[in-house]
Chains A and B, each alone.
Chain A
């Protein structure tokens, strides 16, 4: 386990998530892709902290990333709920214009 190997795993997670985020048609699936990308970022930040950071406070970055993910998920669900109520669908293709 070296910094390079952990980062490679993180990069793999990020890329898989990226594939999902741009290929999926359903909002919730897109969000899952985004979450997977953030998952990779969490791992990378953890690895940077452990291998490189001179001080223990680098963990704060991780906490911020996790918090950003919760915000993403809460707003994503709220918008998906709103979109579903407005037009009975949650396909990204139909959400290209925001007016009803």
Chain B
């Protein structure tokens, strides 16, 4: 693999988006299953719930607020789904990729930063105090998680001696990166959960500010935003598989199947962990990010660099 990663025709983008949609649904179902287990309801409700919620939001009439900045608001709402689709474009599914890009890792990182803008725009556009507080909370959190995340990504690039995602997967033929870069994987997981505004990092959407950035979102905008949030989480999980879990490597099954199985497992782990861990306030996490995670990431990079130089 790796050398055999080849770009498929652009038409396959539709398949990729359909796959993303399926994984988004699956993510919502996993979350629903965990919720039904916690509340003691029948698990079958979890299968129905995403569909029912989508149908409800599609039929819901769009609310608006006084002097809302509709343009920016709509961009923010629809943007998450687009970011998720752009993120998965550089991820190789087995030996196929949509965009075999030299600097695929940096591409993924650039798409992360779009989330900064989008969450803030959703918060700003509604012209509502709680929503704007949510937007600011996310930016404060983003400053704390983005730099450690960059160092975690650098570790994999150094380990594979390439910024190309296909080459990074190929470099794990013998040993998955998660085995000898555990710190980078942990930091990456924190970043991936954080840029999906999920679990402990969901303070931008927290109940104490009435849903935060999404307070005033309704109808199809709300559906797109929350689907996009699951989409970004799915992209984060898929990228974790490519960077740390050897992509499509595995016995018996074809590479694409292994990739999907691993992605679903990582996604489920992210969702489960996000539900278990308590919410962390942005100003608390700021110090954790800068005092603990950044030095840990730098030490991890150093260790990886030493291994690469001496092997």
Give yes or no for direct A-B contact (beta carbon below 8 Å).
no
